Structure 1
Amino acid sequence: MTTISAAAPARPHTATRRVAAAATVGTALESYDFYTYSYFAAFFAGPFFFAALGPAGALLASFATIGIAFVVRPIGAVVFGHLGDRIGRRSTLLITIALMGVATGMVGLLPTGDGWALFGAVAIVLLRIVQGLSLGGEWGGAVLLATEHADARRRPFFASLPQLGSPIGSVAAGGLMLTMFFGLGPEAMAAWGWRIPFLIAIPLIAVSLYLRWSIDETPVFKALASTGGRERMPVLAAIRTQPAAFGVAILVALLGIGSYSLMNTYTMGYGVATLGFDEMQLLTAATIGGLLQFAAVPFFGWLATRIGSARVVALGALGTLLIAFPVYWLLGSATFAVLVTLMVVGGILPTASWAALGGTMQELFHGRHAYSALSVAYALAAVLAGFIPYLTAELGVLTGGAWWHPGIVLAVLSALTLVGAVMAQRMRHLGDEDADAAQALTEERVAEPA
């Protein structure tokens, strides 16, 4: 296997930064879209498009449109994973970001009023399907774009940068929505203000497309294309040749994705309904934890360059396992200051597993089907994690609302991811081997005399 020479010239920092920005912008727009639409569904979608179903039915229908995107996400992972391994990472990410941005912007252009309710309901469902399909192909491609351009030493760090998209998008969407509610008032928001967060996606498309258009295809895909190494059916090839890696990848992803659903969805409602906290207290604590991710994600990405991505995932999982029950025990009698501390600690430890997730998964799979493998494994983990709030609520009913029932769910997620991380550490780093060989080949060609 060809390896990178120690004397190989370093890749330009400006190019690497641009690649990192191009990879991160899509996941940020994905998160921005999710939270913007979630707020829209909670406040406006029901009265605008589903009022004929009655108040309760309208609310359920509006929330169901959120779930549609998650249901079709694995389909998008298969479709765009195939394209990413056949036509290239860069080309596929141009398609996914365009679909995502256009669909989000078009929500802001939908007509409202009694005469448009049926049209709006159908359009919302179709646009959510488009968004869900594009989401399925975004994350895996972003991780590969960042890692396959980076050298071996910095690869784990750049794999963590797409994970910044989640706090960037959530803080941007939440901050904009709060500002508009306070600045415009409820009546203006209902009349026209709700459109602005969606329409902002349109200029964001232009920035995103420019960043991705201005970078080169990754060395790994170039090598595959030049040597005829592309798979005809990469999804099937990945499952057939690396089934164990698929299972490990899903386990590795569970805590990073599932803990967010548990802490920021279920625990919010549980904290208000059962523990008696004020909604604004919980939102403030969660926002503080989200802001800290801006520092925590790069830090854990840097740590992964020192000890390895899988070890960072394992440390986050082990730490979360140890605090799973104490956090929920202390929440029952916490002051606001303790609440903030618990939400921060309970968020930072899973963030370690979240930050190093991309690097760990990228290492597991051969480059010839890596886009498909990463996308499908991540999508399946996301679908499983989507049921976490429901399963936790059911467990709460079965246990009579015992304080420890959310701790069980968090501990199980942590234990599964810990097992996955240990197994990932013992597997060959096939993705790194392919990336190293492709970069070495590229550098040899550049060094050849004209």
Structure 2
Amino acid sequence: MSTTTAPARTATSRVAAAATVGTALESYDFYTYSYFAAFFAGPFFFSALGATGALLASFATIGIAFVVRPIGAVLFGHLGDRIGRRATLIITITLMGVATGLVGLLPTGEGWAMLGGVALVLLRVVQGLSLGGEWGGAVLLATEHADARRRPFFASLPQLGSPIGSVAAGGLMLVMFSALGGEAMAAWGWRVPFLLAIPLIAVSLYLRWSVDETPVFKAIAAQGTRERNPVWAAVRTQPAAFGVAILVALLGIGSYSLMNTYTMGYGVAELGYDEMQLLAAATIGGLLQFVTVPFFGWLATRIGSARVVALGAVGTLLIAFPIYWLLGSATFAVLVVLMVVGGILPTASWAALGGTMQELFHGRHAYSALSLAYAIAAVLSGFIPYLTAELGTLTGGAWWHPGVVLAALSALTLVGAIAAGRMRRLGDEDADAAQAVIAEEQPVPA
């Protein structure tokens, strides 16, 4: 009996690794660029706009990748529903790694500022396109291989990519700042985190080549039920579910943009924190997610993914203003506590959003639906640092202005989670049917 069960366990762990590694590299790229935007992008490429203008322009380059993300979602969502989840994910991870590595080769200096800025924007476009097709495919790769009982937990595994990438990027920046100092980091050290993305592509590609296509897509292909235009089919046949999916994703994505991008720059420029303190606090908060993400994934197997999303939204709504009130006069120990508490509650919504969204859509257009809904939420969230900065300007830097943004995200996601919990689980029905076919095809042990 052991010889028949071992391959299944090996395949399951490999699928989990293949789904997680891509989102980890995506997150590493995102956070590396976020720290770069907060500390270096403005002075290197946009100094002609003045201090405030350079900061706003650097935050806007983060948003550019999110603007083109829906285009990538349409493109790669179409491929994912037509040629398969696995093949599409191999393409997206390659584009992401190459574009990130090239950022580390951009020229700097007064004579190169314009050329470097244009090249930076173009590479952010490529990153945004690949981002559009990565997350939805990773969730489906994980969930469509899993049985019904474990599906919510496996849906949380791609979300581990965020703390993995956050800790890797933040930890590397922290070590390099400590070892090299600010002058060397500005001169050449900032390039190292970007260049490391290139060898990481090899690991990601190996893991994704080693897994099989999902049972759901195999069944759809065998039955000849693939949609000719899956994006349009998803929006046309399930418009309510599509809108709900966008709301569900807002807090999970937006809270990271707010806490790890805007709060970093705001903490240094306005509150007087040292970059090292903020990086250390963010890294500690990211390490905690290695425990909280799997825990909330496990909790989703007990009470349902939508309820876990709602739990995180309610908790974040309650602490949105107290966190920023305390941040204005916090010691380093209190700063760490605030980053931890401010990370745990949104993490509940983050960990369970994949399972909640996967349940909403038919498998024949699930890649397109998940990718586009997530991309639209990411577009809205990608401009959160910029919008929060503008709100801070309008309110004269009032301590509560970031809390308004966090509370709004929480309320919208809570509405989405409640609606999702009342909808039919079409994605689970398709996955259960595909798993049943596999069970029937398994040979009877001698």
Q: TM-score, normalised by structure 1?
A: 0.89
2:124 to 118, 128, 140: 128
Given that residues 170 and 279 in structure 2 are in contact (C-alpha distance below 8 angstroms), is that contact kept between their aligned partners in structure 1? no
For structure 1, the residue ranges without an aligned partner over 5 or more in a row are 1-7
Residue matched to 2:338? 342
**Residue pair 1:219, 1:439 contacting (<8 A) in 2 also:** yes
CA distance in 2, matches of 1:245, 1:239: 9
Which residue of the partner structure matches residue 415 of structure 1? 411
Alignment of 1:74-153 (within 5 A): 74-110=70-106, 119-153=115-149
Distance change (3 Å), C-alpha of 1:115 and 1:135: same
Residues 424/9 of structure 1: CA separation in 2 closer, same or farther (3 Å cut) = farther
> In the aligned structure 1, how far is the partner of 2:38 from the partner of 2:260?
15
Structure 1 counterpart of 2:235, from 236, 239, 246: 239
Q: CA deviation at 1:446?
A: 2.8
Alignment of 1:322-401 (within 5 A): 322-399=318-395, 401=397
Look up the match of 2:158: 162
CA-atom RMSD in angstroms: 2.8
**Residue 222 (structure 1) aligns with:** 218
Pairing partner for 1:314 from 286, 310, 319: 310
Question: Would the aligned equivalents of 1:11 and 1:151 in 2 still touch at CA under 8 Å?
Answer: no
Alpha-carbon distance change, 392 to 180 in structure 1, aligned in 2, over 3 angstroms: closer
Look up the equivalent residue of 1:345 and give its one-letter code.
V
Partner of 2:247 in structure 1? 251
Contact 1:160 1:297 in 2 (8 A): yes
Counterpart of 2:341, as a letter, is: V
Whichever residue aligns with residue 161 of structure 2, its letter is: G
Unaligned runs of 5+ in 2: none
Summarize the alignment of residues 257-296 of structure 1 with structure 2, pairs less than 5 Å apart: 257-272=253-268, 275=271, 277-296=273-292
Cα distance in 1 for residues equivalent to 2:83 and 2:58:
36
In 1, the alpha carbon distance for the partners of 2:143 and 2:390 equals 40
Question: Judging changes above 3 Å, is the alpha-carbon distance between structure 1 residues 254 and 113 closer, same or farther for their aligned structure 2 residues?
Answer: closer
1:5 match: none
- The whole-number CA distance in structure 2 between the counterparts of 1:53 and 1:405 is 24
AA at the equivalent of 1:198:
F
Aligned to 1:297: 293
Cα distance, 1:42 vs. partner? 4.9
* Residue equivalent to 2:20: 24
| Deviation by residue 1:406-448 (Cα, 9 ceiling, x = unmatched) | 3333222212111111111111111011001011112212338
Aligned to 1:435: 431
Instruction: Name the counterpart of 1:213.
Output: 209
The question of whether the paired residues in 1 share the 8 Å contact of 2:59 and 2:385 is answered with no
* Maintained 8 Å contact 1:98/1:205: yes
Distance in 2, Cα, partners of 1:332 & 1:174: 22
Deviations 1:268-323 (A, max 9, x none): 44445555555444333322212111111011011111111111111111122222
State percent identity of aligned pairs. 87
Q: Deviations over 1:362-388 (max 9, x none)?
A: 000000000000011011111111233
The one-letter code sitting in structure 1 at the alignment partner of 2:425 is H
Answer yes or no: is the 8 Å Cα contact 2:96–2:126 preserved in 1.
yes
TM-score by length of 2: 0.90
CA contact (8 A) 2:216 2:431 kept: yes
SS at match of 2:442: helix
Distance 1:49 1:393 in 2: 20
Residue by residue, what CA displacement relative to the aligned partner does 1:330-376 show, whole Å, maximum 9, x if unpaired?
44554443333232112101100000010000000000000000011
Which piece of structure 1 moves more, 422-431 or 58-67?
58-67
Q: Which residue identity lines up with residue 31 of structure 2 in the other structure?
A: Y
Map of 1:4 onto structure 2? none
Give the secondary-structure state (helix, strand or coil) at the position aligned to 1:229.
coil
Give the length in aligned residue pairs: 442
* Counterpart residue type for residue 420 of structure 2: A
> How many angstroms apart in 1 are the aligned matches of 2:55 and 2:400?
30
Aligned-pair CA distance for 1:170: 1.7
Give the letter for the 1:239 counterpart.
V
The aligned amino acid for 1:201 is: A
Counterpart Cα distance in 1 of 2:264 and 2:22: 27
Of 47-56 and 385-394, more deviation after overlay is shown by 47-56
Q: Which moved more, 1:196-205 or 1:24-33?
A: 196-205
Whole-Å Cα distance in 2 between the matches of residues 440 and 9 of structure 1? 17
Deviation per residue, 1:11-57 (Å, 9 max, x gap): 81211111111111111111111222334445555666667778777
Work out whether residues 297 and 352 of structure 1, in 8 Å CA contact, stay in contact via their aligned partners in 2.
yes
